[in-house]
Amino acid sequence: MTTTITTNKPFHIDKKRVYEAYKAVKSNAGSAGVDEQTIEQFDSDLQNNLYKLWNRMSSGSYFPPPVRAVSIPKKAGGQRILGVPTVADRVAQMVVKQLIEPDLDPIFLADSYGYRPRKSALDAIGVTRKRCWKYDWVLEFDIKGLFDNIDHELLLRAVRKHVTCKWALLYIERWLTAPMDKDGIIIERTRGTPQGGVISPILSNLFLHYTFDLWMGRAHPDLPWCRYADDGLVHCRSEQEAEALKAELQTRLAECGLEMHPTKTRIVYCKDSRRKGSYSNVKFDFLGYCFRPRRAKNSQDASVFCSFLPGVSASALKSMRAAIRDLNLRRRTHVSMADIARQLNPLLRGWIEYYGRFTRAALGPILRYVNQTIEAWMMRKFKRFMGRKAKPGRVLERLSRERPGLFAHWKIGIRGSFA
């Protein structure tokens, strides 16, 4: 699947493009769609599967199958419905995504961070931290059910403005209306783009580019904002300005068929040592970080003051503890400590890399929990520690000094505390 087509198909699609899309889909993993075919099963007859997909897409006869509806729990409670396409359909969507992204991404504004190459959630956290120091107030907003409620007509108007490839337009329209299979019941769709689809993030970004990003530039060019998918922040100079903006934004979203989330949208006062006023809301969560007043130290004279800073959020810490509990390490007495480290370190490295970028000390509770989990494992594995709870802690403390590379948080000098 690496040669250029030479046939007289209606649409000229390079076979290599299909193969490159497949490699991207495989690297992202993912579960099976309605046909129950896994990536491994797709791989077992790879050349034939890719050829059939290329042939149908090139001839215009490719119609996406229904997406499989999967319910996953939300952090704040309730369920979110993901639409899982088949492996072949994910490859087809990736073909179009990789085709249109080089043309679409450059039109997006600098403060749109979600689902974009060379931009990350940490970039959004960093710029937000600096702006909270400059502006006293923040409007934190969330769009309720964005992926389920995107207006197809408005979206296609934007797509047709920027995408000129006929076959890409054809398949985008077909994906938007592909039905959803929920426990064998076929549900027709007239709005939205399935959360879980490969093409959905860039389409939702395009929709919000016109709905919010450009609108902010016209209506409030002097107020900085930051958006990551359907989560956004606007920095304001006063509470009154934030209240007025909230009402305006609510009207704007309604004009585009969207709704501001009633409980996740609020106005926050960025309280610190310089800001003497008081307000009921002085913290907000954004991309796994909690922005709130925190103790800070002056780098010049070491004096302590209050600053408005991001640190890992309570909900993120709760998710991390749950991830460790799910490993059931305390009862795995048949394995060695090196085996425990091999299981924990990929998680720890990821958490430290993301949540340790800002206010690393806020990771203390989860790192203490990791040490407590290792201690509990030692108590079960080595009977000599039974009834002597303090001793495994001392052994771990010594081990963390002698072998700091054993666990990821020891290596960088974050050990938490030992019992």
The per-residue pLDDT for 265 is: 95
**289 pLDDT exceeds 50?**
yes
| Average pLDDT over every residue of 129-137 | 97
CB 191 within 8 A of CB 239: no
Token reading at 382: 């080595």
* pTM of the shown model: 0.91
| Average pLDDT over every residue of 369-395 | 78
DSSP characters for 154-199?
HHHHHHHHH---HHHHHHHHHHHH--EEETTEEE--SS---BTBSS
End-to-end CA distance of the chain: 58
Rounded CA gap, 212 and 225, in Å? 10
Token reading at 284: 């907000």
352 residue type, one letter: I
The per-residue pLDDT for 69 is: 92
- pLDDT bucket at 81, cuts 50 / 70 / 90: confident
- pLDDT bucket at 388, cuts 50 / 70 / 90: low
Write down the residue that tokens 């948080």 correspond to: 409
Q: What is the mean pLDDT of the chain?
A: 92
The per-residue pLDDT for 2 is: 47
287 residue type, one letter: L
Token reading at 68: 């499989």
* pLDDT single digits (tens) 8-65: 789 999 999 999 999 999 999 989 999 999 999 999 999 999 999 999 999 999 999 9
Rounded CA gap, 379 and 369, in Å? 15
The phi, psi pair for 235, rounded to 5°, reads -90, 130
**416 pLDDT exceeds 70?**
no
Angle at the Cα of 139 from the Cα atoms of 152 and 254, rounded to 5 degrees? 30
Q: How many CB atoms lie within 10 A of CB 381?
A: 18
Domain ranges of the chain: 15-260, 313-412
The per-residue pLDDT for 9 is: 84
